[in-house]
A = this chain, B = another copy of it.
Amino acid sequence: MSKMSMKRLSLLLLLQLTCYFSSGSCGKVLVWPVEFSHWLNIKTILEELVTRGHEVTVLISSASTIPNSSKPSTMKFETFPVSLTKTDYENFIERLLEEWTYVSKDSFWSYLSTVRSLFWEFFDTTLSICKDAVSNKKLMTKLQESRFDILIADAVGPCGELLAELLKIPFVYSHYTSPGHIIEKNSGRLPLPPSYVPVMLSELSDRMTFMERIKNMFYTLYFELFFPTYKEKKWNQFYSEVLGRPTTLSETMGKADVWLIRSYWDLSFPRPQLPNVEFVGGLHCKPAKPLPKEMEEFVQSSGENGIVVFSLGSMVSNMSEDRAKVIASAFAQIPQKEMEEFVQSSGENGIVVFSLGSMVSNVSEDRAKVIASAFAQIPQKVLWRYDGKKPDTLGPNTRLYKWLPQNDLLGHPKTKAFITHGGSNGVYEAIYHGIPMVGTPLFADQADNIARMKSKGTAVRLDLETMSTRDLLNALKEVINNPSYKENVMRLSAIQHDQPMKPLDRAVFWIEFVMRHKGAKHLRPAIHDLTWFQYHSLDVIGFLLACVATAIFVITKCCLFCCLKFAKLGKKRKRD
């Protein structure tokens, strides 16, 4: 046995012992993750579970892009073979996201149709992976024999709920949102009145004008009528076959004991919730660690002006092991001395951090020039996550990095602004540390996240593809110099920090609760046992209306009959 695995084994053994001798509530956790930023978030929960002595096994396909470098050695990874290769899967996801980024939002119908077809493609691939897992007898026997206590799944990548049903164990979802809230609405049965709950992808706020409420109603109707069937037929058929009884994907997903929603009332607008839904947004946020020496000195050199962080998300670090290695080595090569002097040189001005993450490779040379010349005109130092060709217009106050320690930079006292693509993880880090944002959303929920931040007065929104140097300059000046942005984001930061219990602790509490009690049935609303027309009381209303109609009919008939009788009587008397 290697030194590494010996070390790992003894650590695991120690944690297990700690668990059994203290809380006595240790369990075996099976995880069905979704990749990319979803994995980054769920990993925080899993690491905490391991720290508390639970045994965590993550089930991944052989095509999984979760890089080895981000796999904590304290967890087990159970890999099952799939027909897809890692490169195929990576290219497939990259294509989907690129299509989503560049689809025009000008036409409501074509935009949503594109999003729908992208989702269908993603769900088709997920279904094929799911089939590979469930039909793998060796894997299923191993899982059965492992006697897990709970399964943790991500609601946007189905299959976890099927495995939980097959293994007869309770399950908990980690979930942020879905287009039009279809998942949380159809499976979680969350009430989302369109009058004050903006539909995901509509980019609206909770305080809507009449015209905005009409727009929100259109989105609601679209998702109600055209989206929910996202290849559900295939799924329903597969789930029914495997479980040996007629069922649906929605119904199976609705069996989740607890939904851990990666949002809170600082990022989200207040809306109705259900007892089995816990809002644990920002659970991955933590205080900043000291920056690498070179970077810290660059940051310090900014003086009073502070820094700006520019990042388009961390997806690249999840994209593949190779990419992660490239980035890690890129960061290791940061010339410590040079950066140190650069940061120190900013004096009183402070720094700016700019990162568009993995999607930066989508920024054309022309865009990079526009961005660089805006940066050159601000007194702050700028840290820009970028691995393209160095733009000619790059000012001496701007440094390019292939990787940025985003959370640590955002938590740095010198940081004045964060230019971000609006991924929920990054936005939460900015909220946590109280940093105003310039948002340049690319795809998925990013535009909605930035719309929320804009409506809460903590961000300015720009379009990365069409913005001019002046636009970016004005946006940066606005969020840095107009004190209202800092005040508003500090207010959100206070809300995020001032909770009865930390979101990570709440998430872990409910996972442990479900293990302790083999579910959380007391939190499950009876709505799950109702059909949609029963839920809306349509059968009751119909019955009552039918009663009223019958009563009116009978009364009218009686009246008519009496009138007729009297008329006849009158005639008869007249004749007599």
Residues of A within 8 A of B (CB): 191, 193-196, 206-207, 210, 213-214, 217, 265-266, 269-276, 279, 492, 494-495, 498, 500-501, 505-506, 509-510, 513, 516-517, 522-527, 529-530, 534-537, 539-541, 543-544
Q: A505-B500, A510-B500 given as contacts; is B272 within 8 A of A539 (CB)?
A: no
Neighbouring B residues of A492 by C-beta, 8 Å? 522
Q: How many copies does the complex hold?
A: 2
In the bound complex, CA of A217 to CA of B540 (Å): 8
In the bound complex, CA of A210 to CA of B539 (Å): 8
Distance (whole angstroms) from the CB of A549 to the closest CB of chain B = 16
Q: A509-B500, A544-B217 given as contacts; is B196 within 8 A of A526 (CB)?
A: yes
Considering residues A500, A509, A513, which has the most beta carbons from chain B within 10 angstroms of its beta carbon?
A500
B494 A195 Cβ-Cβ under 8 A: no
* 8 residue pairs A–B, Cβ–Cβ below 8 Å: A196-B527, A210-B540, A214-B544, A265-B523, A270-B526, A271-B275, A494-B517, A500-B505
Neighbouring B residues of A272 by C-beta, 8 Å? 191, 272-274, 525
Given contacts A269-B526, A500-B505, A500-B509, 6 further A-B contacts (CB under 8 A): A193-B527, A194-B537, A195-B530, A196-B530, A272-B272, A492-B522
In the bound complex, CA of A398 to CA of B526 (Å): 42
In the bound complex, CA of A517 to CA of B213 (Å): 31
A214 B523 Cβ-Cβ under 8 A: no
Considering residues A217, A279, A510, A527, which has the most beta carbons from chain B within 10 angstroms of its beta carbon?
A527
Neighbouring B residues of A505 by C-beta, 8 Å? 500
In the bound complex, CA of A194 to CA of B530 (Å): 12
Distance (whole angstroms) from the CB of A390 to the closest CB of chain B = 43
In the bound complex, CA of A276 to CA of B207 (Å): 17
Distance (whole angstroms) from the CB of A138 to the closest CB of chain B = 37
Distance (whole angstroms) from the CB of A536 to the closest CB of chain B = 7
Neighbouring B residues of A513 by C-beta, 8 Å? 498
In the bound complex, CA of A321 to CA of B196 (Å): 49
Considering residues A196, A510, A524, A541, which has the most beta carbons from chain B within 10 angstroms of its beta carbon?
A196
The 4 closest A-B pairs by CB, nearest first: A206-B526, A196-B526, A270-B525, A270-B275
Distance (whole angstroms) from the CB of A130 to the closest CB of chain B = 30
Neighbouring B residues of A279 by C-beta, 8 Å? 275
Neighbouring B residues of A191 by C-beta, 8 Å? 191, 193, 272
Instruction: Return the contact of A193 from the options B217, B524, B535, B543 (Cβ within 8 A).
Output: B535
Neighbouring B residues of A529 by C-beta, 8 Å? 207
In the bound complex, CA of A334 to CA of B76 (Å): 64
In the bound complex, CA of A492 to CA of B522 (Å): 9
In the bound complex, CA of A133 to CA of B271 (Å): 36
In the bound complex, CA of A270 to CA of B276 (Å): 8
Considering residues A193, A279, A513, which has the most beta carbons from chain B within 10 angstroms of its beta carbon?
A193
In the bound complex, CA of A494 to CA of B516 (Å): 10
Q: A270-B526, A272-B525, A275-B265 given as contacts; is B195 within 8 A of A536 (CB)?
A: yes
